[in-house]
Structure 1
Amino acid sequence: MGNYQRPTQLISVAKGKELNKNYNLKRAAGIRNLIGKEDANAVWFSIDELQNYIDYIKTEGAAKGHTVDGIRFYFGVYSDTESADKAGFTTLFLSPTCKLPNSTVVAKDMTDMELLNYGSMGNPPKIEYGL
């Protein structure tokens, strides 16, 4: 599998369940009341999709003179003109970030690169972590 370093930001499964439960109780209920339906509370991308996107932003970013330093995850909501399975639902899209040359600014959104979206929300869109 290659060499890797254990990430320092790992959390336990129990913490993940706690965070998801808190979201579902403290945020999802309010969203459901506001929009009148269950909303997506998770988005899934395959390992291959994520690795391909990482390879893409590194390659295309370098070609544009960027030093890619990460990926920012943004929440969004599909417009009502989207397909019925997406219209009005929450989504997550990924934006590559870079360090600006000759600057201390890091994690600047790269607005000259395409963003990754269209992960799977599941059907129905709500899912509970660990179940």
Structure 2
Amino acid sequence: MKKIGLLIAALFVVSGVFIDSNKLLYPPLPIDSLTPKEAIQKLNASPFDLVALSNDKKATWYLAAISARGIQKVDEDIQQMMANEGWAFLEKEGSGLFFEKNGERSIVTTEMWTKQYVLVQIQK
């Protein structure tokens, strides 16, 4: 009976290590071109705080890691990135950051993907 219990415990441990190492616990991404594991690897390999994941006709998606400063750091990084492209920050409402350039408005939304990562969507 002890052998069966040990075998079951060993199977749980092996399954847990497999799931964690393959990042199967992450929720799906709103884009089809990358798996969650590939997105995280792309962010970890990059020297930047925001990493582009997808660029299509409707929006550009980015991934950012939550630092000790939380979402405020991500918001600052977004504002800096948009300022580099000539957009002026107007305001933040909820998870949306509003920018303006030459009479046009752009909305950047953030979404907590996991406890450690934030998805950023810049609408076109």
- Same fold? TM cut 0.5: no
- For the pair shown, which has the larger CA radius of gyration, 1 or 2? 2
Structure 1 or 2: more helix by fraction:
2
Task: Point out which structure has higher relative CO (alpha carbons under 8 A, 6+ apart).
Answer: 1
TM-score (norm 2): 0.30
Q: What TM-score comes out, normalization by structure 1 length?
A: 0.29
Q: Which has the higher strand share?
A: 2
